[in-house]
C-alpha cells in the first residue's frame, strides 16, 4: 500500500503550552508516588541519534530516530551501542515513536499523517498506515497500540485499523499534563516521557491518572550537549529480566536504571 505524503515543514512547536491547566474535579485525587532512580549500568549510545522511540526486542534495542533526512529504524547492540541493522526513513518524513506489536515494528511520523510498519526479519518497511493525529510516542499493551501526540491524550488504537477505540487524558490531582512523549508499557502501566522534562510519569491505562512521578534529573549533564533538544526521551523494558533502559535525544550514553521510592 502506498500512501501519498503530505509533509509539513513547520517547526517542531509542540502542543499548546497549557501543561498544567486547571482540573477542578480531578477524578481520583490520590497523590502520585514519588520515585527516583539508580543507575545499574551505562552503555554507549550514538550521539547522532535523535531518539524518538526505544523498545527491547530479542536481546537488542530497536530505536527510532527523528529529524527529516536523518530518521531511521535501527537494531542496536546494547553493550556497544553498535547499529547492526538500519532502515532509513523517506527524507520527507520526521520519524517519531516506535513499538513492536505481534512481531512487527510500527513507527510514527510527526506531522505527515503517515505511519510505517516494518518486517523485523528483513528490516524493511512493508506497509504504511494513516495516523489520526500527530505522532509522538507509541507503545503496545499486547492488544492495542497506545499513541501520544504531544497533548494530554493517550489514544488506544485497534491494530487492525489503526483507529482509536478510546482515549484517556493524563492527569493528576492538580490538573492535566500534556506534551506526553515517548511511551513504554510496563507491568500494566504506561510509562511516559514528558517533552523537555526530567520526569518519567507512570500512568494508569484505565483512566489516565498519574500513579507515579519519577525524577530522572542528574542522569546526564546535558549542559555539555550543544543542542537544546537533547532531552530525556526513550524508555525500553525487557519483561524477561525486568531491565529498564533509558536514553535521550543525541545522548552519548544509554542507561540501565532501577526506579526506587524516594
Using CB under 5 A, list all residues that contact Ca ion: 54-55, 184, 235
List strands edge to edge, sheet with 104-109.
95-101, 104-109, 114-119, 124-130
Cα 106 to Cα 128: distance, rounded to the nearest angstrom:
9
Cβ-based nearer residue to Ca ion, 139 or 151:
139
Cβ-based nearer residue to Ca ion, 153 or 193:
193
Cβ-based nearer residue to Ca ion, 176 or 245:
245
Q: Which residues pair with 44 in a beta bridge?
A: 253
Cα 61 to Cα 4: distance, rounded to the nearest angstrom:
30
Cβ-based nearer residue to Ca ion, 235 or 250:
235
Produce one character per residue of 238-259: b if its CB has 16 or more CB atoms within 10 Å, e if not.
beeeebbbbbbbbbbbbbbbeb
Q: How far is the CB of 139 from Ca ion (least distance, A)?
A: 6
Distances (CA, A) of 188 to 185, 191, 223, 235: 7, 10, 35, 15
Q: How far is the CB of 82 from Ca ion (least distance, A)?
A: 20
Question: Which residue carries 515513536 as its cell?
Answer: 97
Grouping H, G, I as helix, E, B as strand and the rest as coil, residue 260 is strand
Q: How far is the CB of 97 from Ca ion (least distance, A)?
A: 7
Q: How far is the CB of 167 from Ca ion (least distance, A)?
A: 19
Cβ-based nearer residue to Ca ion, 54 or 244:
54
Q: How far is the CB of 37 from Ca ion (least distance, A)?
A: 16
Instruction: Indicate the burial class of 24 (C-beta count within 10 angstroms; 0-12, 13-18, 19 or more).
Output: exposed
Question: Which residue carries 507503545 as its cell?
Answer: 139
Q: How far is the CB of 117 from Ca ion (least distance, A)?
A: 17
Q: Which residue is nearest to Ca ion (CB)?
A: 184
Q: How far is the CB of 64 from Ca ion (least distance, A)?
A: 9
Task: Give the β-pairing of 33-44 and 210-215.
Answer: parallel
Cβ-based nearer residue to Ca ion, 32 or 64:
64
Cβ-based nearer residue to Ca ion, 16 or 256:
256
Question: Which residue carries 513499538 as its cell?
Answer: 99
Amino acid at each position: 500500500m502506498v500512501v501519498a505524503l503530505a509533509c509539513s515543514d513547520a517547526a517542531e512547536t509542540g502542543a499548546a503550552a497549557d501543561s498544567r491547566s486547571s482540573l477542578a474535579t480531578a477524578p481520583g485525587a490520590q497523590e502520585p508516588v514519588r520515585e527516583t532512580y539508580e543507575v545499574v549500568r551505562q552503555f554507549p549510545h550514538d550521539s547522532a541519534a535523535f531518539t524518538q522511540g526505544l523498545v527491547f526486542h530479542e536481546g537488542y534495542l530497536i530505536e527510532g530516530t527523528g529529524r527529516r533526512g536523518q530518521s531511521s529504524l535501527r537494531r542496536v547492540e546494547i553493550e556497544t551501542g553498535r547499529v547492526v541493522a538500519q532502515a532509513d526513513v523517506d527524507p520527507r518524513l520526521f520519524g517519531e515513536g516506535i513499538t513492536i506489536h505481534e512481531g512487527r515494528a510500527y513507527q510514527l511520523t510527526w506531522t505527515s499523517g503517515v505511519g510505517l510498519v516494518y518486517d523485523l526479519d528483513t528490516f524493511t518497511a512493508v506497509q504504511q498506515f494513516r495516523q489520526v493525529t500527530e505522532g509522538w510516542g507509541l507503545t503496545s499493551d499486547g492488544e492495542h497500540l497506545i499513541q501520544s501526540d504531544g497533548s494530554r491524550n493517550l489514544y488506544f488504537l485497534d491494530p487492525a485499523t489503526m483507529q482509536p477505540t478510546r482515549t484517556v487524558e493524563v492527569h493528576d490531582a492538580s490538573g492535566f499534563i500534556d506534551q506526553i512523549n515517548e511511551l513504554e508499557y510496563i507491568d500494566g502501566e504506561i510509562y511516559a516521557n514528558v517533552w523537555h522534562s526530567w520526569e518519567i510519569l507512570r500512568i494508569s491505562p484505565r483512566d489516565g491518572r498519574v500513579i507515579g512521578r519519577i525524577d530522572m534529573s542528574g542522569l546526564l549533564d546535558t549542559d555539555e550537549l550543544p543542542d537544546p533538544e537533547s532531552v530525556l526521551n526513550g524508555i525500553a523494558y525487557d519483561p524477561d529480566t525486568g531491565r529498564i533502559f533509558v536514553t535521550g535525544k543525541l545522548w552519548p550514553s544509554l542507561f540501565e536504571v532501577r526506579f526506587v521510592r524516594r
